[in-house]
Amino acid sequence: MKKNQFTLMAVTFISGIILGVSVLGLISFTGSAVVPAPLPAVTKISVQDANTLFKAYYNTATPTNQVVRGFTINKDELSALNSLSAENPGLAGFRIYLGTDNTSGSVGIIVGVGNTGMDVTTSIYRSAAISSGPCPTICDVNSSITRN
């Protein structure tokens, strides 16, 4: 009698383990995959590439006669600012130049600024200038900060 009880408990225990592993495996392979967030679309570029992008923008830019109210930066540009700061903690600030690329359109050229106000060109980053640029044209016209 004790032997039958032990056998029944052992079979139940093993069946439970097999059923649990099966359900876990079924859930693992039928659920939607978790896709990691994409890495920032920021790349290091050379001084020559930065100059080419800047000239392409500058030679085709439409001048405006409006007062610049501010400047919008996107998360990729913020990522580049953080990278520059980590690479060179002695930077006094940052500058974002506007550029144009033949394939992707507007780009931001992100560079550190030294204590003398000059560009520190040891590391230069490039990002897509989506939702980035001066105000005007990229402005919140209803902002309580800028309304008259």
Q: What is the pLDDT of residue 54?
A: 92
Q: Supply the mean pLDDT for the chain.
A: 80
SS3 of residue 1 by DSSP: coil
The secondary structure of 43-54 as a DSSP string is EEE-HHHHHHHH
Q: What is the pLDDT of residue 39?
A: 43
Q: What is the pLDDT of residue 134?
A: 83
**Residue bearing the bigger pLDDT, 137 or 108:** 108
CB of 106 within 8 A of CB of 134?
Answer: no
Instruction: State mean pLDDT over 116-132.
Output: 91
